[in-house]
Amino acid sequence: MIAIVSNRDVEARWCMGEPHTANLVLVSPDSEVAQQFVADPDRKTDQVIAAVVGEADSVAFECEKLAWPIRLANLLELLKRVEMRIPSGNSTSAAEIPSAPAGNKLVELAKLLRDVESGDNLAWRINGLSDRPVYVAPHEKSFIFEDSLLHLVQFDPHAELELVPITVGQVPQADQRKPIRMLQWLVGLRSGRIGLLPWIKADSTFRLKQFPEFQMLHHSADHRRIAAALSRPRSGIQAISAATQLDSSMVLAFVNAASLCGYLKISDAAAAASKPKKPSAGPRHALFQVFRRALGIASNDA
């Protein structure tokens, strides 16, 4: 059982969620899974573990204790102690995640690249990303840039770009055309400097459909960490940030890039919340459910 955040007599708004993103994790003291979780090197350093113990139980690791059978007063006291140990800046609300302005030229370019397979017979010339123009050939899923990609990696996300539609016949001939995903990735990463792309909601549920082709993308070890975290659904930018211990700006840049490349599945938060819950058996689980309802603790199964 796990709690992340609450309602009555406590400061935070508590809800149920996944163990690795939780502030408080309740475990059975004799569980092998619990011992493995406590010893996990990737576990959040500020996470509180509490063992639900009876009179005859012993715990093989250091943690908080919650007496069994659970009394409401004891559970409230534990939640209050956990709140005192959670850093005040530990999370960022969805409302605080910046959204890139829709009229920004880089956002317009991102939208063109998102719709690159729309099937029209146009190509584009992009001026302003570098000293040399970039030609995008959607019909070939490629782009042409006659210089090193290093000149594109650090382009100014606030630059005044010129997006010029041209015919396919006006695209220069080039021996080495680069996969369009390289450009989608770079534009997505740089757009992270101005915020989340406008058509992506910060509180959506995110999961990778396909692992990024890092061998051809400009990436970092942090990107690989985020990709690993997104191998399972994560509800909101802040949940990904908590799971990876990375700044939300790094996360939203990755989300922008992965979305443009088609690597990411994005589900509406309301739809994800409406999924049927799996039934659980056992007296302890049933009692947890009673306390959860009494405290007004929400369920957050992603």
Give the model confidence (pLDDT) of 62-78 as tens digits.
778 888 888 888 888 88
The per-residue pLDDT for range 174-228, each reduced to its tens digit, is: 777 899 999 999 999 989 888 999 999 999 999 999 999 998 888 888 999 999 9
Q: Which of 182, 205, 224 is the last residue of a domain?
A: 182
Please tell me the total count of domains within the chain.
3
Residues 110 and 56 both lie in one domain? no
Statement to judge: residues 254 and 284 lie in one domain = no
What secondary structure does DSSP assign to 175-190, as a single string?
S-PEEHHHHHHHHHHH
pLDDT on residue 43: 67
| Residues 149, 198 within the same domain | no
In a domain, 51, yes or no: yes
Burial (Cβ within 10 Å: 0-12, 13-18, ≥19) of residue 19: buried
Other C-beta atoms lying within 10 Å of the C-beta of residue 130 = 20
Do residues 257 and 178 share a domain? no
pLDDT of the residue at 32: 75
What pLDDT shows up at residue 251? 93
Domain boundaries, position 27:
2-90+273-295
Where residue 288 sits, what CATH number does that domain have?
3.40.50
Kindly state the tokens that stand for 35: 């011992």
Is residue 114 situated within a structural domain? yes
pLDDT for 270: 53
* pLDDT of res. 302: 42
- Locate the DSSP E strands across 107-208: 122-127, 134-137, 142-144, 162-167, 178-179, 205-208
pLDDT at position 107 is: 92
Is 277 within a domain? yes
Here the tokens at position 213 are 């082709």
Handedness of CA 176, 182, 186, 191 (dihedral sign): positive
- Asked, for residue 187, whether it belongs to a domain, the answer is no
Divide the 302 residues of the chain into consecutive groups of 10 and give the mean pLDDT of each group: 43 67 78 74 71 75 81 83 61 69 89 76 88 89 86 81 90 86 93 91 93 88 92 91 86 94 84 50 58 57 45
pLDDT value at position 173? 85
- What is residue 287's predicted lDDT score, i.e. its pLDDT? 58
In a domain, 15, yes or no: yes
Residue 6 lies in a domain: yes
Strand 264-267 and strand 205-208: pairing?
Answer: antiparallel
